[in-house]
Amino acid sequence: MQGFPHHYLVNASGGTEGNVVVSGEGLPDLDTQGPPQFGGPEGIWSPETMLTGAVANCFILSFRAIARASKFEWTSLQVNVDGILDRPERATYFTGFNIHAVLDVPEGVKVQMAERLLEKAEKICLVTASLKSEIALTTEIRVD
């Protein structure tokens, strides 16, 4: 692992209309627009869906790291995130992210430990730790 601080450089370019192209060195370009809720087209990533996706992605990567360090056996993790954009006090921002994690584990795994590791993943996720929004976690553990 590299020492801190880490820097993540991203570029975005766009004109008066159409897609905004988000790019990073060595990464595929990502076409984005405003979300349909703001008049954008369906089927294209937006900053809002990218942020919500970053919460889901970071949760899984955080759980993966914690499970590996704990030598915890699991088979798959599905994470659904509902990012809530609201306008309290006339300022528009994400007021919350509801994270629902479904973890599949093999028979014989301690379900209580699985629950603790899921909760820890939510706490150490760098993305959610960087947000002022409320974070709510619900979990479901399925034994294969």
pLDDT on residue 1: 77
Q: Which amino acid is residue 40, in one-letter code?
A: G
- 47-143 folds as GMP Synthetase; Chain A, domain 3 (3.30.300)
Whole-angstrom distance, CA of residue 50 vs CA of residue 120: 23
pLDDT class of 138 with cuts at 50, 70, 90: very high
Separation of CA 53 from chain center: 4
User: Can you tell me the mean pLDDT for 92-101?
Assistant: 97
Q: Are 70 and 112 in contact (CB under 8 A)?
A: no
Write out pLDDT tens, residues 53-88.
999 999 999 999 999 999 999 999 999 999 999 999
Is 92's pLDDT higher than 90? yes
How would you class 58 by CB atoms within 10 Å of its CB: exposed for 0-12, middle for 13-18, buried for 19 or more?
A: buried
Quick check: helix, strand or coil at residue 109?
A: coil
User: Can you tell me the mean pLDDT for 92-102?
Assistant: 97
